Amino acid sequence: MKIISKKTKKYNIDVESFRLLPIRGHVYWKDIHGYYLGSNDLMMEKCKVSSYKDLLTKTDLDFDMDERELYRQEDELVIQCGQTMQFFNSTTTHD
């Protein structure tokens, strides 16, 4: 990640590289209306979509996930605060 301007804190991120980071976590980003703009492969697997394009027209309500209400609450907090935030949530997986 490269900082373009320290004053405005804008970042230049290669989205394709970000999607393929070898991390064992669900990474995603959305627009202000809650529509997915992108995610890593693990999040696409969680949402049960086979194509990156299938994710782009969806919100959390379109997926059968236990965490969808939590994700929406976190989105609202980001919108209210008007700041970039990171959330770390723990879960127990079946595997």
Residue 43 in any domain: the answer is yes
Amino acid 80: pLDDT: 92
pLDDT tens track for 9-56: 555 666 666 666 667 778 888 888 889 988 888 888 888 898 878 888
Q: Which residue has the tokens 């209306």?
A: 33
Q: Of 63, 71, 21, 69, whose CA–CA distance to 46 is shortest?
A: 63
Amino acid 73: pLDDT: 92
Mean pLDDT within 55-68: 87
Q: In one letter, which amino acid is 78?
A: V
The answer to whether the beta carbons of residues 72 and 60 sit under 8 Å apart is yes
Residue 49 in any domain: the answer is yes
pLDDT of residue 1 exceeding 50: no
Residue 86 in any domain: the answer is no
Cα separation, 88 vs 25, whole angstroms: 9
The domain in which residue 16 lies consists of 2-81
Specify the pTM. 0.68
Amino acid 24: pLDDT: 75
Residue 90 in any domain: the answer is no
3-state secondary structure of 15: helix
